[in-house]
Structure 1
Amino acid sequence: MEYNHVEHGDVLVSGNLLNSFVDLHRSQLELSGVPQLFYPTLFDKLKKQIFDAGDYFGITEVENDEGETVQRRVCVTSEHNLLKDDPSMIFLIDHAYTYRINNIRNELEQLPDLVERLSRLMLISSDEENKINAIIEHMWKFNHTYTLATNEGNAEDREPYWYIRDEFGSAIEHSDQANVRLVPFLSMIDGQMYTLLWLIKDIKCNESVTVDYVCGIHDEVIRRAKLVPWTEDDLSGDIDYQQTEPNEQYFNTGRENESLPSSDNYPRIDLTKLNRTINVYTDIELVRNHLIDKRFQLVEDLSQADIIFTRKHFKDFKNLCENTQQFINQYPFENVINIKDLLAVICRRTSLPIDNETLQSYPLWLPTTFNLTYELPKFISYFQHREQKNLDNHWIVKPFNLARSIDTHVTKNLNAIIRLAESGPKIVCKYIDKPLLFDREDSGLVKFDIRYIVLLRSLEPLKVYVYKKFWLRFANKPYSLDNNYDDYQVHFTVMNYRYAQNLKKITCEEFIPLFDKQQQHHHLKWSDVQENIFSMIHQVFERAILKKPPCGMLSCHRSRAMYAIDLMLDENGQPYLLEMNFMPDIERACLYYPTFMDDIFCTLFLDESNSNVIDISSK
């Protein structure tokens, strides 16, 4: 739609400027569903900073017997009914506070006036001793989220922003029959984020203004679950928490399937019988610098390679197997173990259901895990059952596909878990509330996790190996659960990218005797713990091939792979699988162990054994 000259009140809006505004904001306007009749008014109000909602609406308060405000609502105060087809009926709402969740406590401690404002906005009692804790507890009924998509910048830029609307915007209540829409909007005019309000129904004078808090969700059970922060609904009585495996369509969602060979009769290649140097093509600098075994040589032409070792996701297995004699460092449909939500599904195969008495889930080595997209009602029911049994209810919320603990949060607040899912697809895992701790001489008893490099040479028959040297990551501060869930240095161990000044480095050779000494009172020996870890890793791959693609991995004679497995131990030494990663960071491995890359290539491609690699194929 082109605009020439459009009247808005007494102001003549330039058609060229308006068209430029619409072009600049088109994707936002269309994705948010802003009707075109509001574009001229929106442009004018943004340009002139017109906040005129107060001319049409007012906030009414409900008080209890003690005179304290216990509820607010917004009503139409205009003398005339408001019409949804009136092009002036779009309004700007300001934001009281914009923040990132992990920063909120530190920021509020420095902004006492904001603490008072948010306390009043959230109807927190003036007698509350710790208003910051109360704000963090209550904010999930008031906050909203957006992420600024950028092609540049670092991974932390993908951390979502959360915001709380001003007093007017925060007072608008929910209704299934809403009469307005509210959406966040980034104005390129001044670079500021606003909330837009526009009418979707005619509203009479004195009528309440309402919005659908879960707009766009039509499934009644999902709507009910997402509204729990406001309704406090109990789902434990009628929603079954037992988990069932999703259908094949779920495994295909949002991905391009691999092309597969027509049959299993493609040529099998034995690189040890080439009678020449094996050509390796790689886009990984660490491989280029540390693969020194003379039986391999690097080539720049991919077509000349015998081995392709790449970070890029590979899809064309049909061409690889039928038209080349090359190997690739990936397996078809390995996404089922590298994406967090699918990994949990894979690991639950052949396991017992959740025990209805103890609420223990299986296998024991997998933290209880729910997908917050399609299992939210089941999770809420399970959470509420645990609450009724007075079981620990600390959880960790993780994005499907982000690393380095980005947008990952520890909480026991059910409302927080429900709302956190709005910033992108997430799983929620039972937090290991009683982890095995390591005594850091400079910090005290801290959490730690362990990373193993796993080598997959074959799926059928299963040939899987573990690199003998493993890596350790430590928290910087002593572990506790004393309402400090937003203290990254207590609950997380990835310190390479933040708080690196306190990063503890220790080799596995140094760790093992310290572990055995520190865990004497638990009667734990590292050799026994490691056997359980190897058994767990073996079971993951066994379960990954129980179903055909796309629900499982596919055996391929031309595939080899290296994965990282991250795990933690509880106070009894029980290992818990945290995640698996394709093509992990191997910088420390190459730095500490000069033969690492040679060991990997010889195991995967020459089927050679050596003292640095442990065969766990029969664990």
Structure 2
Amino acid sequence: MAAQLSYEAFLEVMGPQLVGMGLPEKLWRCAFDKLSSENLDASDAFTLVERDDRQRGESKWQVVSCRPIEKESGVWLCDHCWSFRLKEGKRQLKENEKLRARLQSLFGVSSDTAVDDLWRELLPALQHYQVASSSRLDEEAVWYLMDEFGSSFDVEITRVDDEMDQKDEVPEADGLANFRMAPFFHTQRGVAYTLIWPVKDTEHYEPCSRLAVPKSGGPEDLLLDFPCVRVPQYTEASPIPAVLQCSRLFALMFPWRSSAARELVVPWYVRMAAELLQDEKTHMVVDEQQPSAVGSSSSIASVFDFPPHRSAQIECDRRELRRRVDLIDRTQVSETLKKSPLRVFTDLPILQETLSRDDFTFTDDILQADVLYVSYVLNDGRDKPTDEKGSEWSSSIRFNSHQLVNQLVGEGHMTTKDGLAKMTRRFAWLPDAYDLSTELPQMIGAYHRRHQSAQGPSAPPESPHQGRHSDYWIVKPRNLARSIDTHITNDIDEIVRLSSTFPKVCQRYIDRPACIDGKKFDLRFYVAVKCFPSIASGKAIEMGWAGRWPHTHTRVLHVVGGVQVAVYERFAARMANEPFRMDDFDSFPVHFTVMNYQDEQTRSKNVVMTCTHFKTQLANEHGHHDDAAVAAFWKAIIDKVHLMVRELFQTFVQQMTLKENSSSGESVLTNPTSFAVYGLDVMLEHTEGNLEPRLLEVTFFPDTARLVKEDRGFWDTVFGWVFREERGGAMVEVTM
């Protein structure tokens, strides 16, 4: 058994948890003493009484004080009766009869209650934490349910009342929780508890309560001082109340709302969802008079300004782009491109193994390299990045301003799922998606709008996706891969609860995917991008297309240091292990396609097809058998994918526009040392008799192992197009 920690050692190791949860410093010694002895002495101050009227998510018991308790007078420990990863929760409920019986008794539901119904009953009572070390954060939250004592506290939320006059003053806070709770992980024992302490004086036999949503420390905490938010019936003349419009905390309380309260709040959220879509559309203008920039007769959307909720980060990226551009000697970049061989520095083994061209060689010295293709963050410029203490960031490596680097300034607007959703939600090829960190109220509104449409004949008119869909959504972290911490659900309460963990995006689940052998699949397309000046002239490339400014006359947009984009003709097809069905949503082999990170047994069951074989079989399954029919079938799909790629990168380039005072209009100043290879993950969806591509995500530094097994010339071809202006062949250029 490990030796008992001293108080000083305890604070050094676990003190940051006490600070983070907001436990008053005068209670730290009390917490240490009780944790050291595992003293569960709550019965000295509290007792349980049976509730007369139990609401959803409430225990059948209620905690009341059995003596007066002064504010910040002590700390009590609460044990956890159940800890689990979310994907395992329902399975454990099904398989563990003793656990199921205990929870049925605790929440006062009958023993024949279905597992799914019991799960929905438990959702408001579940809490979570994430374990972090000095080097990494656990990628999935641990969910838990407190024991009979902790689960029986009342839950305080900001109330909703439609009968109060909106002009009345907000009343003084008089109904907030009298206790605070926070999870605590004892790192020496590997055991989690909940710490409970009083934040208000509590009388004898007074009900004890906690906040539904713990305070975050941000400005939205002010909303918790308002025990009532007035929600008048919506009229065209009345604006949405700012307290609803701005409050994520208010939206986080949705799972605890009664049916009557939901009827008052939901219409506002539906309105907010519609206004979000309209806000995006007002920043998308289409020039109906001018021909498309890419040689097509169809018009193309041109984005020249962005909604306020996105403009701050975009402007920051624009300034960073300006800083980098000012440091670069374009003539020196052109001279670098003329070198042979070009020296390449990379941490990608498969690139080192398969790049066989004589005009490239590898080096281990990052500062001597001409080309950097790396998986980590790079910093250019004259100064090395430092933290507050003046130490260099270990995750950011300095490089020279003339080196050619596989990173585009602002690419996070594409490679993070929340950035992609906000940048491209106007396009039909992106399934409806919402950032749960900033758009939770709108997500609740979109859910209810789609839920109504799922019961009716067609999709809502605000959506670019026509046809009847189910109301299932997929919730995934904004910046994690391999389907980690990803969940599929049609329960809005579960979506809201998931939003309080790692920052997440909620996206419409594709419920009618194209399948092969009955199994779901996705396609990984590889897209190369370069921003180099012309090698022949050493000057910036100039391209142009017409774009209409909102409320002003038409101007010509000049692209200086033009962005060039090409799609590799072969893709990697990834298939699920089991036939697709719209149930058992926790089954990874049914609903997910990336199996190469799973256990050996799962990987051994995965079918791997070459691109050629996959194309032939999918066309055959859709009734196309001769070579000409197969080619026509795929041409229609690939043309749509190329249009999607063009619209994606045009939108990204326009978003990174740097405003110049020039009579000729705007200038898009791209970093002339930047290139990149992205993986675009695409699914095909059955829509009105057609197969339509849907973009799932854009991946930085994509895994190419599966494609290289089929085509070992991949990196030779990509590097030839990027650095040697080799056109044609397997690189299909998308004109910008």
The bucket for the TM-score relative to the shorter chain is 0.7 to 0.9
Whether the aligned pair in 2 keeps the contact of 1:180 and 1:200 (CA below 8 Å) is: yes
Structure 1 CA distance for aligned equivalents of residues 84 and 476 of structure 2: 19
In the other structure, the counterpart of 1:360 is none
Structure 2 CA distance for aligned equivalents of residues 70 and 162 of structure 1: 17
In the other structure, the counterpart of 1:336 is 413
- Matching of residues 188-203 of structure 1 within 5 Å: 188-203=187-202
Pick one of 278, 286, 289 that aligns with 2:353: 289
Pick one of 522, 530, 534 that aligns with 1:449: 522
Whether 1:96 aligns to 2:174 is no
In the other structure, the counterpart of 2:170 is none
Length-normalised TM-score, structure 1: 0.86
Structure 1 residue 266, shift from structure 2 partner: 3.3
Structure 1 stretch displaced more, 54-63 or 169-178: 54-63
Cα distance change of structure 1 residues 325 and 546 upon mapping to structure 2, 3 Å threshold: closer
Whether 1:59 aligns to 2:89 is no
Structure 1 residue 553, shift from structure 2 partner: 9.0
Structure 1 residue 117, shift from structure 2 partner: 1.0
Whether 1:476 aligns to 2:463 is no
Structure 1 residue 247, shift from structure 2 partner: 3.3
In the other structure, the counterpart of 1:326 is 403
Paired amino acid for 2:441: P
Pick one of 48, 69, 75 that aligns with 1:82: 69
Cα distance change of structure 1 residues 223 and 282 upon mapping to structure 2, 3 Å threshold: closer
SS at match of 2:367: helix
- Matching of residues 27-46 of structure 1 within 5 Å: 27-46=16-35
- Matching of residues 539-558 of structure 1 within 5 Å: 539-548=647-656, 555-558=670-673
Structure 1 residue 77, shift from structure 2 partner: 3.9
Structure 1 CA distance for aligned equivalents of residues 38 and 433 of structure 2: 46
Whether the aligned pair in 1 keeps the contact of 2:325 and 2:672 (CA below 8 Å) is: no
Structure 2 CA distance for aligned equivalents of residues 118 and 383 of structure 1: 29
Structure 1 residue 250, shift from structure 2 partner: 4.3
Aligned residues: 577
Whether the aligned pair in 2 keeps the contact of 1:92 and 1:194 (CA below 8 Å) is: yes
Whether 1:589 aligns to 2:707 is yes
Structure 2 CA distance for aligned equivalents of residues 538 and 518 of structure 1: 29
Structure 2 CA distance for aligned equivalents of residues 238 and 275 of structure 1: 61
In the other structure, the counterpart of 1:249 is 312
Structure 1 CA distance for aligned equivalents of residues 624 and 90 of structure 2: 37
Structure 1 residue 122, shift from structure 2 partner: 3.1
Structure 1 residue 254, shift from structure 2 partner: 12
Cα distance change of structure 1 residues 526 and 323 upon mapping to structure 2, 3 Å threshold: closer
In the other structure, the counterpart of 2:300 is none
Q: Deviations over 1:275-300 (max 9, x none)?
A: 64222222222222211100111123
Structure 1 residue 412, shift from structure 2 partner: 0.2
Cα distance change of structure 1 residues 584 and 81 upon mapping to structure 2, 3 Å threshold: same
Structure 1 stretch displaced more, 547-556 or 298-307: 547-556
In the other structure, the counterpart of 2:719 is 601
- Matching of residues 110-509 of structure 1 within 5 Å: 110-128=95-113, 130=114, 132-150=115-133, 157-176=138-157, 177-216=176-215, 217-218=220-221, 219=223, 220-221=243-244, 222-232=248-258, 233-234=262-263, 235-239=265-269, 240-241=272-273, 242-243=275-276, 244=279, 245=307, 246-251=309-314, 259-262=323-326, 266-267=330-331, 269-270=333-334, 274=338, 276-316=340-380, 325-348=402-425, 351=426, 363-389=427-453, 390=455, 392-439=470-517, 445-458=518-531, 461-482=562-583, 484-498=584-598, 499-509=602-612
Structure 1 CA distance for aligned equivalents of residues 486 and 452 of structure 2: 26
**Identity fraction in percent:** 29
Whether the aligned pair in 2 keeps the contact of 1:545 and 1:554 (CA below 8 Å) is: no
Q: Deviations over 1:362-413 (max 9, x none)?
A: x110110111111111111121222234262100001111100001100001
Structure 1 CA distance for aligned equivalents of residues 419 and 478 of structure 2: 9
Structure 2 CA distance for aligned equivalents of residues 189 and 149 of structure 1: 14
Structure 2 CA distance for aligned equivalents of residues 541 and 600 of structure 1: 18
Structure 1 residue 207, shift from structure 2 partner: 1.0
Structure 1 residue 304, shift from structure 2 partner: 2.7
Paired amino acid for 1:611: G
Structure 1 residue 542, shift from structure 2 partner: 0.6
Structure 2 CA distance for aligned equivalents of residues 591 and 301 of structure 1: 29
Pick one of 67, 90, 93 that aligns with 1:108: 93
In the other structure, the counterpart of 2:544 is none
In the other structure, the counterpart of 1:48 is 37
SS at match of 1:570: strand
Structure 1 residue 112, shift from structure 2 partner: 0.8
Cα distance change of structure 1 residues 103 and 82 upon mapping to structure 2, 3 Å threshold: same
SS at match of 1:236: helix
Cα distance change of structure 1 residues 321 and 615 upon mapping to structure 2, 3 Å threshold: farther
Cα distance change of structure 1 residues 411 and 188 upon mapping to structure 2, 3 Å threshold: same
Whether the aligned pair in 2 keeps the contact of 1:329 and 1:560 (CA below 8 Å) is: yes
Structure 1 stretch displaced more, 35-44 or 195-204: 35-44
For structure 2, the 5+ residue unaligned runs are 158-175, 224-242, 280-306, 384-396, 456-468, 532-558, 660-666
SS at match of 2:525: strand
Q: Deviations over 1:131-151 (max 9, x none)?
A: x22233323111111111146
Structure 2 CA distance for aligned equivalents of residues 227 and 58 of structure 1: 27
In the other structure, the counterpart of 1:6 is none
Paired amino acid for 1:27: P
SS at match of 1:534: helix
Cα distance change of structure 1 residues 171 and 70 upon mapping to structure 2, 3 Å threshold: closer
Paired amino acid for 1:344: A
Structure 1 residue 592, shift from structure 2 partner: 2.1
Q: Deviations over 1:482-532 (max 9, x none)?
A: 3x1111111111111112121110011101111111112999922211111
Structure 2 CA distance for aligned equivalents of residues 27 and 314 of structure 1: 30
Cα distance change of structure 1 residues 105 and 271 upon mapping to structure 2, 3 Å threshold: farther
SS at match of 1:51: coil
Paired amino acid for 1:580: V
Structure 1 CA distance for aligned equivalents of residues 110 and 722 of structure 2: 64
Whether the aligned pair in 2 keeps the contact of 1:560 and 1:605 (CA below 8 Å) is: no
Structure 1 residue 188, shift from structure 2 partner: 3.2
Structure 1 residue 56, shift from structure 2 partner: 1.6
Structure 1 stretch displaced more, 230-239 or 312-321: 312-321
Whether the aligned pair in 2 keeps the contact of 1:60 and 1:73 (CA below 8 Å) is: yes
Cα distance change of structure 1 residues 124 and 302 upon mapping to structure 2, 3 Å threshold: same
Structure 1 residue 228, shift from structure 2 partner: 1.0
Paired amino acid for 2:608: K
Structure 1 residue 70, shift from structure 2 partner: 7.7
Length-normalised TM-score, structure 2: 0.73
Paired amino acid for 1:286: I
Structure 2 CA distance for aligned equivalents of residues 254 and 209 of structure 1: 48
Structure 2 CA distance for aligned equivalents of residues 592 and 36 of structure 1: 62
In the other structure, the counterpart of 2:7 is 18
Cα distance change of structure 1 residues 400 and 563 upon mapping to structure 2, 3 Å threshold: same
Cα distance change of structure 1 residues 256 and 426 upon mapping to structure 2, 3 Å threshold: farther
Paired amino acid for 2:353: N
Q: Deviations over 1:277-327 (max 9, x none)?
A: 222222222222211100111123333322222222223168999975421
Pick one of 676, 680, 684 that aligns with 1:561: 676
Whether the aligned pair in 1 keeps the contact of 2:85 and 2:140 (CA below 8 Å) is: yes
Whether the aligned pair in 2 keeps the contact of 1:267 and 1:321 (CA below 8 Å) is: no
- Runs of 4+ off more than 4 Å: 68-71, 250-259, 317-324, 521-524, 549-554
In the other structure, the counterpart of 1:530 is 638
SS at match of 2:654: coil
SS at match of 2:475: strand
Whether the aligned pair in 1 keeps the contact of 2:336 and 2:370 (CA below 8 Å) is: no
Structure 1 residue 452, shift from structure 2 partner: 0.5
